[in-house]
A and B are shown apart, each in its own frame.
Chain A
Amino acid sequence: MKALILAMSMLPLMAVAGQKIDEQISVPANKRIFIDNQRGDVRVEGWDKAELKISGELDDKAQGYRLEVENDRIEFIVKMPRNQNYGWNRGDGSELVIFMPKTSELELSGVNVNVVARELSNGTDIDVVNGDITLSAIEGDISVETVNGDVDATNLIGDIRYETVNGEINDRDSQGKLRFTAVNGDIKSTSKAQDVRLENVNGDIDFTLDTIKKLRINTVNGEAEVRINRLLDKADIRFESVSGDAEFFFPDDISAKFEIEAHANGKIVNELSNDKVKKAKYGPSSELEFSVNGGDADIEIDTISGRIELRKK
């Protein structure tokens, strides 16, 4: 009943295209905030108040907006014409600044929209097509998806998933679990995450990882440079590439057993020990297996024709 009354009280006035918006409403604690804005720029910040505040200007093509309470979430939707021939490329998109309770989860979707989000403690799910996404100081389950845009993230903590097709990903000072899925974009991360996975096709990979328990990298043609400061007990590292090269920098005192295999004319360079690469008697493959300092961690690398280099930091 309360929700119904709240919903009734939130029924918005119809706004005309390009009109200013300035709404501030109380929201129940821990309700998910859903924002749908197709074009423009949206900035979302968490604050300590149990209130949602939306200000700025709507898209020139907007046909009003909807702000209401659904069962488990509060929805703010900028209504756009359904017909794509309506002149979507004309006029400006929305310019919105949104403050929301930092303990609420943020879900945001759009098409040609740039998103900035910060200071949230209950995770976020952002999904756009062409926009750039900039995140900072966010905790919880974090999912970021863009097709052509870049992602720039600082100080994220939790279960973090980045996904892009052409965009670049730049992750700084993250902690927890990291997942990257990309096609073309370069991926750079300086992280304290202990569990890191990456899958891409062409983009270059530049990882500086503080402490690793589990690392999985699967690339087709990407060039990888991976620096690892410390491996935890029984750490598990797997790298696979088709033609992508990889340069690994390990700590001086690394304790690990290595199994490296280059299946077709790949190259293996080992600066961690005096063990030599063995060429197959028949066929173009070569392999290198060795163990250093007791062989605690397990490191397995497979490439078809890439160049694998093992170096000390």
Chain B
Amino acid sequence: MSKPDFETFLAESINNSETQIAPQKDLWQGIEKAISNPATKQRESSMWPKLAGIAACSVAALLSVQLVFNSSAQNTSVAMSDFFAEQKQTLLVQYQNQPALTDNWQQQLTELEDAERAIKQALENEPENPALLKMLAQVYQQQLDLINKVHAPKWQTI
């Protein structure tokens, strides 16, 4: 697998983003202030175009970082969901003809799926929250563990 190219990744992220990317409110104020700041104290100097360029690059870098991190966190959550959904489906198909050791495991699985939905809902407000991402992974793992446990192959010779 080749190393992902940052520019390509950024371009794809922008193209794939459904929401409009905008700086935070505080950032806008800073930008507005900087723009509206009268240039009376400025002397004609060749330094200012360079500084403006650096500032513009800094703002662009900040926006890029924000975009990349947001995109990364959302991708983490989505990739995790896709991965576990596939794993779960594989296990359910694998065990579909095997008797379970408990008669209430599907109810427990439903409760774990309810928990999964609650965590995903919270992630919509805090997509980068590591505690929530960890909880989501944990709930996914608990689903897989439960399915495996109640269909434990070691007891299937009984």
- CB distance B135 to A240 under 8 Å? yes
Nearest residue in A to B149 (C-beta to C-beta)?
A165
Contact between chains at B118 and A111 (CB < 8 Å):
no
Contact A263 B129 (CB under 8 A): yes
Asked if B146 is at the interface (CB within 8 A of a chain A CB), the reply is yes
7 contacts between A and B (CB under 8 A): A129-B155, A165-B101, A201-B146, A243-B115, A263-B125, A304-B132, A305-B118
In the A-B complex, the 5 residue pairs with the closest CB atoms:
A302-B131, A263-B122, A242-B115, A283-B125, A220-B115
Is the CB of A254 closer than 8 A to any CB of chain B? no
Chain A positions 183-226 with a Cβ under 8 Å from a chain B Cβ: 183-184, 199, 201-202, 218, 220-221
Interface residues of A in 127-178 (CB under 8 A from B): 129, 147-148, 165-166
Please state if A264 and B102 are interface contacts (CB–CB under 8 Å).
Answer: no
B36 beta carbon closer than 8 Å to chain A: no
Interface residues on A, range: 20 to 34
Name A201's contact: one of B111, B122, B129, B131 (CB within 8 Å): B111
Not counting A202-B108, A218-B138, A264-B122, a sample of 20 additional A-B residue pairs whose C-beta atoms are within 8 angstroms of each other reads A84-B158, A111-B155, A129-B155, A165-B102, A165-B108, A166-B102, A184-B104, A199-B138, A201-B108, A201-B146, A202-B111, A220-B111, A220-B112, A220-B139, A221-B115, A240-B131, A240-B134, A263-B122, A264-B121, A283-B126
Interface of B is mostly: helix
B150 within 8 A of A: yes
Give me the interface of A with B, judged by CB distance under 8 Å.
38, 82, 84, 88, 111, 129, 147-148, 165-166, 183-184, 199, 201-202, 218, 220-221, 240, 242-243, 261, 263-264, 283-285, 300, 302, 304-305
Report Cα–Cα, A285/B111, bound state, in Å: 23
Cβ contact within 8 Å between A38 and B122: no
Shortest beta-carbon distance from B10 to chain A in Å: 27
Bound-complex Cα distance A38 to B121 (A): 45
- Counting CB contacts under 8 A, is B157 at the interface? yes
